[in-house]
Structure 1
């Protein structure tokens, strides 16, 4: 549009955003000084010759030059533009005195007028409704475009006359004429999620995205209207479950433009095609030709003809596996709502009959049609059978909503209510909508009519949901309460005991093996293969916690396949638990293999929470290995995909807090660590409390706030000692020792190092042993033994490199350099150089800057460099470093602290970078990425 002459054709169905795209582009063109004229084609137009073009030209008034500067041929437009007649030249010779000019004269007149305006954009929208005369005019204009004109035409390909190009004849842009054919496509689900996040922020969950995408099929207009509806109807805390969202949006109006487009297509169908469309609307899911014919009440030939017509009219489209349905849910809703009640009822009855004759019977669909007929008693029976069928097939995603809806029925038979509640309790832990299931089960558990064993099993499930999904160890209180109620169900009581064994907090860790032994005694009296699998998985978890090397061989012996899904589930759980603990132990490569296997098995067995946990732990491994690129986006996507799982948000906070600290974004790091803090208090595993304390304590210590760092570390050390969790103390141990030494408590630091050494004796735990070497180095340095300290730090760096964690290795090398400078300056120089290079390779700007400062303070010389040079209009390394931090949102003061520079120096570098890149601060990230791509 900004480089005339040009012809731009924009193709796309209703709701894809053609008009929005044109409006945005036209606004930019107008801001750049172009004249923008717009005309519209209409399905029901008044008999005005060349109406869309004439409508557009009526807007030229403000831009018209004096009449003596307009070519005489433009005078032929006088009859069509009476309001501007006195500002146009007289009609040229041969033009009719009254009425419209002929096509040849009109084309000349339009070209002449547009040429007189200078650089102009002419937009004609909705060419699928264009009349023949206007189409021919636009074709001739497109074949001979005035030098200053950009012609923009929009249309829906599916609504063009059959076998007719948009301009009536084949068109190719002439030489020297720019432009493009833009075929707009629907948004992908990820793009719908971005749209939702822009509108709703963190409330844009995966559940919301899924509902929006299913309704809109990627049409931006529909998704946008739905987001507006949600914003108007629901408060900030109400956007929780997919079912709530779907129910809310189901009642909302279909956007008018889409409703009109669908209605227009339906109105011109023949009776047979209309019958097929109505059948598809009632069925609600893609269906084969035979089923459509049965519901429509047509014979095979009439159904085939009607289906073909509906496809050609773009009312229906073909889906995979020879099925047919509406393009998107809202089009189906428009067609469904147009049906009178009696007609709808008849079609639903036919659907029930046709579906009921199939084997296996599609009970979920039959339940839907039965409910639509208003027969609630029959629906309850079918819905229960449908839920049972879904559970048997391992489809908890279908079973959960059915069971929750059943349990909402006020007149549900108590026996059916009990069966449905138990079924929901048994699938809730593996379901996706765990919050919705927890709310339903909490209400059910108070029902006095509920048999005691059923109540115990439901209470057990609620405890699982709280402890596993919510990361809240209060769930173990509910699990323990359920034991007395489960006396008549020893298998479930044993399962509760296995769960209780997993709690390490509040003194419960001392009873862990006792709970496991109790479960085994119950199993001896009442054998149960599934609970035995849970006991095995838990025993392996305990062995891994203790750093017992026998765990690896035992893990390989677990079954990876079984006819009983619970056994595979327990194998998956064991693989994940041991894999996660392997990360704490420092067996990173082994951890990656175990976690990848648990992720794969969890997906195959439809266990969403274990799949999520595995993917989170794999992302953490990537962070520890220095693979930081794209980590934020992966974690954010996981958090959105699994909004009910507390661990997704907590791990995101911890990992991104570490990254922000390394990059010098200290305010961001503090905020991230604060998000994770409640997790350390609530989680049943001590690992969370140790990791949550380590990050902020290290930041506070680096900023010299020893008292606050000590206050953070003290309770974590109490937790560590009470649980004896030394094999999982790799993150906390070094910072805790440094905090104690900084506070003058050398005896306390020495005691902690001694306890850790004793606790790790004979354990297969490389990471905490590397951390112990670092801690010993700190103690030796504080005691005046730089040579011994340097040796411990170097040993630590080697251990971390062997594990595969470059950031930790660089930290150890940096410390080795700081204590070795007075012993061997050459070695110290090599060590500080290695640490600085590693930090820079990782993007750890804060740490790299600290190395540079240490080099200056110790007089170790400058980093290896070919010598100072001028960079001209390219960014210097320091300017790039500062610009990268600014692009990530760091304020100048934060950058100054991170890079150990003055604020004035940072301001100078930022200003220089902005000038060289030619952007404002908001455009830094994009400009840096573009420069990287060009280099």
Structure 2
């Protein structure tokens, strides 16, 4: 056995060199990481000093009580899910509170962090899909980091990260816990496209900076040389150092280490000679090694990854007594360095490559064979490394065997990124037999479907489906996965053609898969397919289902059938939901039941079945948690939040939404779809038009082809109508109306139809308004949509020929909304009824509406209604308020100030001049004895 290695000479270590030329970057990095949460990206070419900068920053933060844990990416990493992150998390033990045990959220990390087993709860039982696993690991990682805070998670060389790790880092960067930071290093020249697969945008409240490191200039190199050789030697050597290294710190440091071992080097710059590459620098140093140490270094270069002393000795064919001395010599001359307890290798990938490339071919081959024998005898076998060495030996047949085995193991342990890397290499291998190509492609498609960079494999899968010789069923499976990848990662109608063609190829031999595929495209939320086309796809799926007896396929098809329009609003929904299997032994069946209940709650929100929402959402949440499907909870738990908006509990909505964001910081629905529309509607009613527009535009920017973006289009158009700009409002509505018709989404009460009818009338196009109202009424025929019926009455009122008919229709809309339990649209309908009907009825209707708006906090609506009341005649005044009590108008101003509104926005919300708004603001601040800033801090 190789014993402990001791350093015995005065040879300088890399960490002993002065830190030069990076002071501004270090200050910027420490400042960013000290204002957590924060994300820092450090890029630079190989050898430019990224690792040293990170080490200096870690030292500065450590002095301030901030811990740092580091993980690194590697091109020959063995399968381990999210390996670089897991490596770093494994070092968190000393930073955790003494004796503290982490909660259930951290449980998914238990199998991956054996060193923290005593601090983590048992892992959850039951299988999980890739998406659920990523979500569970993300949640667990956040919980572990939060427990160790303040802490910085460092992942180096992210350009070598696998897809799954990149996606985890992307999600983590968007939802860092308080008092934590993320620091990533990478080589910019080796990254194509976004570093983490998708563009990293700065999350609210999180710092984000991308630092680029450049080569050192001559003064910095002089300072570096001075730290090793003294100022006189630095003056004589700086020119030679710069000429050789061109400012790359790695080569300059290697030169200085070489010179530091030679007495009198400062007086002999010619000792550097003429070599200009790292290869020659290391070759000169290796020449001074003992023969045993040189053999050990050669073996390390072939092994390619840091290895134990024993493995290095065996690879170099050295007995234990000589191996100890050889390793000591290699370390003291800084050819090899320590990477951890009993792990030795090169300081940098460039250094290893330079030594490897200098090996004579026969020696390189002999070492690969020896290493391959050693690794093959291990249990478990390091399959990625074994595949690497068989490839280096030119043994294609064995390389394929080991590469496929490595991919299979990676799939088994959930390391989809490593699996995808190996499978892509297999697929790219020329002359691969059709059956092997098909098997590899199927596995690749399965591995990458839910990863951040699935697009990187899409081209390979496209090539494969066009390869002659594949069986139709195999081709169909690959094509179906390709279609799913395109659908998930490109959106819109991408992938539909591939999925439909795959269903044809699968129908004969695999009707189960074909039925599921057709059901998926029937329920896709894209604006490109008509409802008629969706019905055809769903009918074909149901027909194929009759040929199979498979609970999972049945569950998938019926789950997708539930959300295909207009089935979603049929009277059969309660019966379909009641018949769902709640206690199946098939995890996928239970998954589909949870999805069905969650989707039903969403549909109920859209159609005005508010009384059903909470029950279906709570059942979906409870069933999902019992089945270990916690990742679905973020969807189901969003619908009760929407109920607070619908029921007019807007302050409670603000509080519930804030709590929802804290619980699900990475939720994709918090600022999109229905929740975005709800936030926009509340902001508009409160008089915050700019904020409302921001919410609406965010929802539309996320996915304008989704039916859940329709209320955002309606809200944005309504803001244009408020500015008396019906033409812009109509242009805003036009894409949404096309989507509405294609999807036959008439049951969804999104205020789209009433807004469009109102807009068309204001543009003088009564024919278009009447045609749309007729389409809406016909589309609701036979369907259950209380909200849709209320909007039908509103449209009828807008189109009515007489004041009495209009007022009567608006009253029916008011009553319908009251039955649903939505006070705000009910009050708006009452206001319309007042304006449309006889003047004698206007006063009571407007008064009731104004009082409802006041109760809701709808400042703009209340101000508009009271202004109309005043136009009818004198309004009785309430007794004067004491000097320290706010009037109703002043309470409205205070609410707007708490929202951060400026005087101009307050004036627009209250329908007064800006000068009048200034007087109101001054009175409010005087009575409350406060300031704008202090009052803004009270907003919920």
TM range (shorter): 0.5 to 0.7
User: Residues of 2 paired with 1:736 and 1:723: CA distance?
Assistant: 17
* Stretch deviating more after TM superposition (737-746 or 582-591): 737-746
Distance 1:415 1:566 in 2: 29
| Deviation by residue 1:242-269 (Cα, 9 ceiling, x = unmatched) | 8999xxx9x9999999x9xxxxxxxxxx
Q: How far has the Cα of 1:727 moved from its partner?
A: 1.5
| Equivalent residue runs for 1:739-778 within 5 Å | 739-744=759-764, 749=769, 752-753=772-773, 755-778=775-798
Report the Cα distance in structure 2 between the residues aligned to 1:557 and 1:861, rounded to whole angstroms.
Answer: 57
In structure 1, the residue matched to 2:605 is 583
The one-character-per-residue Cα deviations of 1:23-69 (angstroms, maximum 9, x if unpaired) are 989x9xxxxxxxxxxxxxxxxxxxxxxxxxxxxxxxxxxxxxxxxxx
The question of whether the paired residues in 2 share the 8 Å contact of 1:502 and 1:538 is answered with yes
Deviation for aligned residue 1:792: 2.1
1:436–1:853: structure 2 CA closer, same or farther, 3 Å change rule? farther
- For residue 811 of structure 1, the aligned residue among 801, 817, 828 is 828
Offset of 1:370 from its aligned partner?
Answer: 9.3
Q: Is 2:549 the counterpart of 1:549?
A: no
User: Please, which of 738, 744, 748 is the counterpart of residue 758 of structure 2?
Assistant: 738
How far residue 760 of structure 1 moved from its aligned partner, in angstroms, is 3.3
Alignment of 1:790-801 (within 5 A): 791-801=811-821
Sort the Cα spacing of 1:298 and 1:788 in 2 relative to 1 into closer, same or farther, 3 A. farther
- Distance in 2, Cα, partners of 1:416 & 1:860: 87
Change (3 A) 1:406 1:253: farther
* Structure 2 runs not aligned, ≥5 long: 1-18, 35-55, 69-146, 159-164, 202-209, 225-249, 251-299, 321-337, 360-365
Name which of 913, 919, 933 aligns with 1:902. 913
Give yes or no for the alignment of 1:880 onto 2:894: yes
Evaluate the alpha carbon distance shift between residue 420 and residue 574 of structure 1 in structure 2; reply closer, same or farther with a 3 A threshold. farther
Stretches of structure 1 that go unaligned for 5 or more consecutive residues are: 1-13, 28-124, 130-151, 159-182, 197-203, 260-278, 300-314, 318-323
Q: CA deviation at 1:333?
A: 10
Check conservation: 1:636, 1:652, Cα contact below 8 A: no
- In structure 2, the partner of 1:516 is 538
Conserved 8 A contact 2:339-2:345 = no
Which whole-Å deviations, capped at 9, do the CAs of 1:444-499 have from their partners, x for residues lacking one? 54556765544433332233334455431243223223344445543333333323
Contact 2:883 2:927 (8 Å CA) reproduced: no
Q: Does 1:823 align with 2:845?
A: no
Question: How far does residue 703 in structure 1 lie from its aligned partner after superposition?
Answer: 1.8
8 A Cα contact 1:726 1:756, kept in partner: yes
Structure ranking higher on relative contact order (CA contacts 8 Å, 6+ apart): 2
* Residue of structure 2 aligned with 1:186, choices 143, 150, 154: 150
Select the residue among 456, 479, 495 that pairs with 2:499: 479
Match of 1:854 among 853, 861, 868: 868
Report matched runs for 1:203-222 at 5 Å: 207-209=168-170, 222=183
**Per-residue CA shift, 1:309-356, capped at 9, x if unaligned?**
xxxxxx999xxxxxx999xxxx999799999989xx999999997998
Q: Is the 8 A contact 2:834 2:841 kept in 1?
A: no
Cα distance 1:780–1:333, how it changes in 2: closer, same or farther (>3 A)? farther
Matched, 1:666 2:689: yes
Q: TM-score if structure 2 supplies the norm length?
A: 0.56
Quickly say closer, same or farther: Cα 1:735–1:432, change in 2 above 3 A: same
What are the residue-to-residue correspondences of 1:457-472 with 2, within 5 Å? 457-468=477-488, 470-472=490-492
- The CA deviation at 1:543 is 7.9
C-alpha distance 253-725 of structure 1, shift in aligned 2 (>3 A): same
Partner of 1:493: 514
Cross-structure match for 2:287? none
Alignment partners' CA distance in 2, 1:632 and 1:156: 28
**Alpha carbons 1:879, 1:912 under 8 Å: kept:** no
Contact 2:703 2:709 in 1 (8 A): yes
CA distance in 2, matches of 1:373, 1:588: 68
Instruction: Determine if contact 1:457/1:486 at 8 Å carries over to the other structure.
Output: yes
Task: Report deviation, 1:795.
Answer: 0.4
SS in 1 for 2:857: helix
- Please give the alpha-carbon distance, in whole angstroms, between the structure 2 residues aligned to 1:364 and 1:864: 82
C-alpha separation in 2, matches of 1:706 and 1:562: 54
CA change 1:452–1:806 in 2 (3 A) is: same
Cα distance, 1:714–1:325 mapped onto 2, change above 3 Å: farther
Identify the match of residue 443 of structure 2 among 420, 423, 440.
Answer: 423
Return closer, same or farther for 1:790/1:693 CA change in 2, 3 Å cut-off: closer
Q: How far apart are 1:797 and its partner, in Å? A: 3.8
Paired position in structure 1 for 2:854 = 836
| CA drift at 1:596 | 5.5
Deviation at 1:530, TM superposition (A): 3.6
Partner secondary structure for residue 726 of structure 1: coil
Matched residue of 1:869: which SS? coil
Kindly provide the CA deviation profile for residues 74-105 of structure 1, in whole angstroms up to 9, marking residues without a partner as x: xxxxxxxxxxxxxxxxxxxxxxxxxxxxxxxx
Three-state SS of the structure 1 residue aligned to 2:912 is coil
C-alpha change, 1:495 and 1:663, in structure 2 (3 Å) is same
- Calculate the aligned-residue CA RMSD, in Å: 6.7
Q: Deviations over 1:342-377 (max 9, x none)?
A: 9xx999999997998668x89789889999999997
Relative to structure 1, the CA distance from residue 441 to residue 568 in structure 2 (aligned partners, 3 Å threshold; closer, same or farther) is: farther
SS in 1 for 2:840: coil
Q: 1:205 and 1:834, CA in 2 relative to 1: closer, same or farther beyond 3 A? A: farther
| Contact persistence 1:619–1:635 (CA under 8 A) | no
Distance in 2 (alpha carbons) for counterparts of 1:456 and 1:670: 45
Report Cα offsets for 1:596-642 as digits up to 9, x if no partner: 65567778989899677656666655654531347489679979676
The superposition leaves residues 768-808 of structure 1 with CA deviations (integer Å, 9 ceiling, x where unpaired) of: 2233343344455963457525632430341242xxx4543
User: How many residue pairs end up in the alignment?
Assistant: 698
**Deviation of the 1:837 alpha carbon:** 1.8
Tell me the secondary structure at the aligned position of residue 569 of structure 2.
coil
The answer to which of 693-702 and 509-518 deviates more is: 509-518
1:153-552 alignment to 2 at 5 Å?
Answer: 185-187=149-151, 207-209=168-170, 222=183, 238-241=194-197, 381-389=401-409, 391=411, 399-400=419-420, 403-404=423-424, 407=427, 415-426=435-446, 428-431=448-451, 433-438=453-458, 441-442=461-462, 444-445=464-465, 453-468=473-488, 470-486=490-506, 489-491=509-511, 492-502=513-523, 508-525=530-547, 527-542=549-564, 545-552=567-574
